[in-house]
Amino acid sequence: MNTTTSHKQPLFITLEGSEGVGKTSNMEYIKSMLKESAIDYIETREPGGTPLGEALRAMLLGEDFKGMSDDTELMLMFAARAEHVAQVIRPALSRGQWVLCDRFTDATYAYQGGGRQLDMSRIAGLEQWVLGDLRPDLTLLLDAPIEVGRERAGKRSTPDRFEQERDAFFNRVRQVYLDRANNEPERIKIIDASLDLSQVQQQIKRVMMAYL
């Protein structure tokens, strides 16, 4: 009898949301659920996840290239993603490991498409080029009014290049995330992240139980 998880296909799960909504905190919770279910997984993040990707992350978030053009920013996000997909994500899925990723292409639609107001069709073109048919199986969208995330993030660290943006930018980011969730309700599950952590985790548990 097979005593391993009933899920034969490894899943690619992403966490999304605007700043400070609790992705890092809830990543820990999801990891504990996977461990309890004896599921082999890797944890990774974007931008980043490889040595090259982490170097690009430092350029994208830091002060050194603060004035980079929006197109440069978009292409660096996808350069980091191309490396990440080739070196980490596809190999892990091929080995049968689940992939738990803090942000992925939905973030590009939200931040570069919504926040920076770049043409969504350019993002879709890059997505097709870099990912082919690879898409997350499940995306947990942690959603909260931007002031909630801002207040939580503000308590924690000095703001990065994105966190210095204005409320209008983050309202557009949030709206694109919500629009995408409404267009793809099977894949993208909205979690009310404005509630306290235990209530957020209960919602995550309800969603995850269907996959475990």
| CA–CA separation, 41 and 1 (whole Å) | 23
Taking the complex as a whole, the smallest distance from the CB of residue 195 to ligand Z5A amounts, in Å, to 6
CB atoms closer than 10 angstroms to residue 147: 12
Q: What is the footprint of ligand Z5A within residues 97-156 (CB under 6 A)? A: 102-103, 107-108, 111-112, 152-153, 155-156
Q: ∠ CA(148), CA(154), CA(45), 5° rounding?
A: 85
Show the tokens assigned to 29: 């919770």
Name which position in 41, 162, 169, 177 contacts ligand Z5A (CB under 6 A). Answer: 162
Taking the complex as a whole, the smallest distance from the CB of residue 144 to ligand Z5A amounts, in Å, to 8
Q: Rank residues 10 and 20 by Cβ distance to ligand Z5A and give the closer one.
A: 20
What residues form DSSP beta bridges with 45?
102
* Side chain identity at residue 142, one-letter code: L
Distances (CA, A) of 92 to 12, 13, 32, 174: 10, 12, 19, 30
Residue 200 interacting with ligand Z5A (CB under 6 A): yes
Q: Rank residues 7 and 187 by Cβ distance to ligand Z5A and give the closer one.
A: 187
Q: Which residues bind ligand Z5A (CB under 6 A)?
A: 17, 19-25, 46-47, 61, 77, 102-103, 107-108, 111-112, 152-153, 155-156, 162-163, 193, 196-197, 200
